[in-house]
Amino acid sequence: MKNLLISILILIVCSMPVQAFAGTATAVIKGTKQNSELLGSAHFKDTDEGLQVEVSVFGTTPGPHGIHIHEKGSCDDSGNAAGGHFNPDGVKHGFLTTDGFQGAHAGDLGNIDVNQNGEGTLYMVVPGLSIAGGKHNVEGKSVILHEKKDDFGQPTGNAGSRVGCGVIKTEP
């Protein structure tokens, strides 16, 4: 009888769908102005070390551009509907990977460097951020690419207008 119960338990466990540990999400980034050629994507993956963030953009001006996670999941009104930087802790602006949640908004990802061909990539792992669940989750928020470099000044980094926007959506 004991062997039969163990066999049934093994059969049940083995027949359950396998789910990957890591949650994933994506934002398709588009220019905020009509006829903009800016396109890009942001991919997010939960890892043991934190939230892995990979951003690629094409068709924008060369140089550094501020890139942030904003509090609302809307790109309407030229990206202004995305609201302010994601800041659940109510702290000052900074660079999250060096200043932590005590010294930076949870959405402060710094800058993405764009080359002379208008292409840029950013890769980082941010401890404490996650896709879903918890205070610092990014699901349903927006990724905003700014016109200029984030100089980490107050209150939001002096990065200029919002030139690109994408809503972060979880993947099935």
Return the closest-CA partner of residue 96 out of 36, 22, 135, 152. Answer: 152
Return the closest-CA partner of residue 145 out of 116, 109, 97. Answer: 109
User: What pLDDT score was predicted for residue 11?
Assistant: 41
Assign 134 a pLDDT band (cuts: 50, 70, 90): confident
User: What pLDDT score was predicted for residue 10?
Assistant: 45
pTM of the model: 0.84
Pairing assessment for the beta strands 63-70 and 142-146 based on DSSP bridges? antiparallel
User: What pLDDT score was predicted for residue 65?
Assistant: 97
Assign 155 a pLDDT band (cuts: 50, 70, 90): confident
Taking the CB of residue 56, how many other CB atoms lie within 10 A of it?
16
Assign 109 a pLDDT band (cuts: 50, 70, 90): very high
User: In the predicted model, is pLDDT for residue 18 greater than 50?
Assistant: no
Of 59 and 17, more confident: 59
Check: CB of residue 56 under 8 Å from CB of residue 145. no
Q: What is the pLDDT of residues 110-121, one digit of tens each?
A: 999 999 999 999
The domain spans of the chain are 21-170
The CATH T-level fold of domain 21-170 is Immunoglobulin-like (2.60.40)
Return the closest-CA partner of residue 41 out of 61, 62, 23, 56. Answer: 56
With residue 2 as reference, give the H or E element that holds it.
helix 2-15
Could you give the percent of the chain with pLDDT greater than 70? 87
Q: Which residues contact 87 (CB under 8 A, 6 or more apart)?
A: 71, 105, 106, 107
User: What pLDDT score was predicted for residue 153?
Assistant: 81
User: In the predicted model, is pLDDT for residue 15 greater than 50?
Assistant: no
Q: What is the pLDDT of residues 47-88, one digit of tens each?
A: 999 999 999 999 999 999 999 999 999 999 999 999 999 999
User: In the predicted model, is pLDDT for residue 156 greater than 60?
Assistant: yes
User: What pLDDT score was predicted for residue 106?
Assistant: 86
Q: What is the pLDDT of residues 77-105, one digit of tens each?
A: 999 999 999 999 998 988 888 888 888 89
